[in-house]
Chains A and B, each alone.
Chain A
Amino acid sequence: MPRRILIIDDEDDIREVAALSLETVAGWDVTMAGSGAAGIVKALEQQPDAILLDVMMPVMDGPTTFRELHALPETTNIPVILLTAKVQAADQKRFSDLGVAAVMFKPFDPLTLAGEIAHALGWTDD
C-alpha cells in the first residue's frame, strides 16, 4: 500500500512540483492543501502517513499549523516535515526546536525529494 502524504503550501507551483516528484519517483499518494486551516481539515479526514508543511504562509503559518496539528489527538502522531526556503542558522534552530520530524529546504531536487523524506522518517522500505 503506497504511503499517503499531505502537502500543505500556499504556493501552487511548489505544491504541484512536490506532488509530481513524490508520485512519480516514489509512487506515493499525494493530497494537497493551500493553507494551514485547509491542511488541518485534510489531515483529520485522511490521516496521512506524513505531512510536508510550508513555513511561510499567510494567516496561519507553518509553525502555527504544526502546533495545532500537534495539539489534536487525531493528528498528534503524524510526522511533520517543515519545508522552507533556505534560512539563517537561527531560524533553522527555531524550527528544529518545534519538535517536527525534520526540516527540509527549498529549492528541492524533484528527483531526490522522496528519498530525502523517506530517509528523514526512517522509511527504509521506500
Chain B
Amino acid sequence: MSDPAAIIAARLAELWRTSRPSILERIAALHAAHDALVRDPADTEARSKGREAAHKLSGVLGVFGMPQGSELSFNMESLLMNGNPLSFEDVIWLGEQIEALDAVIAAKG
C-alpha cells in the first residue's frame, strides 16, 4: 500500500479506536456542564468546562472525518464563550446540540 490517502485512511481508523475513549470523556464533560447549567445557568465553572470540552472537540472531530461534529462543537463553544448570561432557551439549545453530537459519534461507531 503506497497510496498516501490509503495509508492515512488505514492509520486514521486505527487512531480512532485509540482516541475514541478520550473523545467520549470530553462529550461526558459537555453533558456534565449542561446538567449543571440546567440547575444554574449562571454556573461559571460549568460554562468554562463546557467551553473547553467543546473547543477540543471542535478541533479533533473533523480530523477523524466528522465535520458536522466539529461544527456542532464550534457552535456550542461560541455560545459558551460569549459574555452574555445564558437564557433558558440557550440551555435547551445546548442540550439539543449535545444530543446531535452523540448521534454523530454513534454513527461513526
Contacts and interface: CB of A to CB of B under 8 A. Distances in A.
A and B form one complex: yes
Contacts of B7: 24
Interface string A100-116: 00000011101100000
Contacts, number: 70
Nearest to A107: B62
30 contacts: A11-B56, A12-B22, A13-B15, A13-B18, A13-B19, A13-B60, A13-B64, A14-B59, A16-B15, A17-B12, A20-B8, A20-B11, A20-B15, A21-B8, A25-B4, A56-B56, A84-B59, A85-B55, A85-B56, A85-B58, A85-B59, A86-B70, A86-B74, A106-B59, A106-B63, A107-B61, A107-B63, A107-B67, A107-B70, A111-B8
Contacts of A20: 8, 11-12, 15
Interface residues of B, number: 27
Interface residues of A, number: 20
A110 B4 CA distance: 10
A88 interface: yes
A106 B67 CA distance: 10
